[in-house]
Amino acid sequence: MARSSVAKVKKSVAVDQDQQLRMRMWLRLLTSTNVGLNWLRRSLRDEFGVTLPVFEMLMQIQRPPLGPTMGELSARLMVTKGHVSELVERLEAKGLVERQSNPNDGRLQLVYLTQEGKTLFDRVLPVHHARIGELLAGMDLASVEQLYELLGEFRASALAAENREAGVAPAIADGQPVRRRAKIKRN
C-alpha cells in the first residue's frame, strides 16, 4: 500500500474514533440528564405533589426582577408563550400565582407568586437543592468545577452551532457566544 493510502486510512480511522467518542459522550450526557431529571421529578411529585415544570415556573417567577411578563417567562424557561400561558392559568386556578396588568403597558401581564405560591416555593426550594446535592454527592468539588467548566464550553459550542445554522451573527458576552436574533447580511 502506498504511503499516501496508509496515511488516508489512519486519518479515516482517527476521524471515526473521534466521532465514536463524540457519540458516546452525547449518549452519556443524555442518559445522565434523564436519570437525574427522572429522580428529581419523582422526588418533587412524591414529597410535594409538584411537577418539575411547575417548580421551574415558580422559581422563574420568584427570580429577580420580580413580576416577569409572559414573554420573559417564555424566554427564561425556553418554552413557547402558549405553554407558559397554559401553565400560568393552571397555577392561577390553584391560587399559586396572580397576573397583574403592567402599569406602563396594559397589553402586558406581569406574573407574581401569591402568598400560597411563595410558601410552597419556600418549602420545595431547599429540598430541590438537597436533591441536586445528592445527585452530585459521588463527585469531589474539583470534579464538579471541572464538569461545570466543560459544560460551559459545550453550551458555547452548541449555541455557536445553532447560530451558524440560523445564519445569525455570533455575539459574545462574558467570553461566551450568546443567542442573537439579527441576521447576517448575505451578499
- Higher-confidence residue of 119 and 187: namely 119
Tell whether the torsion through CA atoms of 65, 68, 74 and 75 is positive or negative: negative
Chain length of the chain: 187
State percent of the chain over pLDDT 70: 82
Angle of helix 52-62 relative to helix 70-77, nearest 10 degrees, comes to: 120
Whether residue 112 sits in one domain with residue 71? yes
Asked whether residue 49 is domain-assigned, the answer is yes
Whether residue 148 sits in one domain with residue 127? no
**Cis amide prior to 65 (ω within 30 degrees):** yes
Task: Say whether pLDDT at 186 is over 70.
Answer: no
The parent domain of residue 181 ranges over 139-187
Angle of helix 52-62 relative to helix 81-93, nearest 10 degrees, comes to: 90
Scanning the structure block, which residue is given the C-alpha cell 412524591? 46
Whether residue 187 sits in one domain with residue 112? no
Whether residue 143 sits in one domain with residue 102? no
Whether residue 117 sits in one domain with residue 174? no
Domain count for the chain: 2
pTM of the complete model: 0.74
Please give the backbone phi and psi of residue 145, each rounded to the nearest 5 degrees, phi first: -60, -40
Residue 171: count of CB within 10 angstroms of its CB: 14
At 92, list the grid cell.
Answer: 392561577
Asked whether residue 3 is domain-assigned, the answer is no
Whether residue 177 sits in one domain with residue 100? no
Residue 1 confidence (pLDDT): 57
Q: Are 85 and 41 in contact (CB under 8 A)?
A: no
- Which pLDDT band holds residue 68 (cuts at 50, 70, 90)? very high
Average of per-residue pLDDT values in the chain: 87
Asked whether residue 67 is domain-assigned, the answer is yes
Residue 161 confidence (pLDDT): 92
Whether residue 103 sits in one domain with residue 23? yes
Q: Are 53 and 40 in contact (CB under 8 A)?
A: no
Whether residue 66 sits in one domain with residue 95? yes
Asked whether residue 2 is domain-assigned, the answer is no
Task: Say whether pLDDT at 14 is over 90.
Answer: no
Whether residue 121 sits in one domain with residue 64? yes
Asked whether residue 4 is domain-assigned, the answer is no
Whether residue 120 sits in one domain with residue 76? yes
Separation of alpha carbons 27 and 101, rounded Å: 45
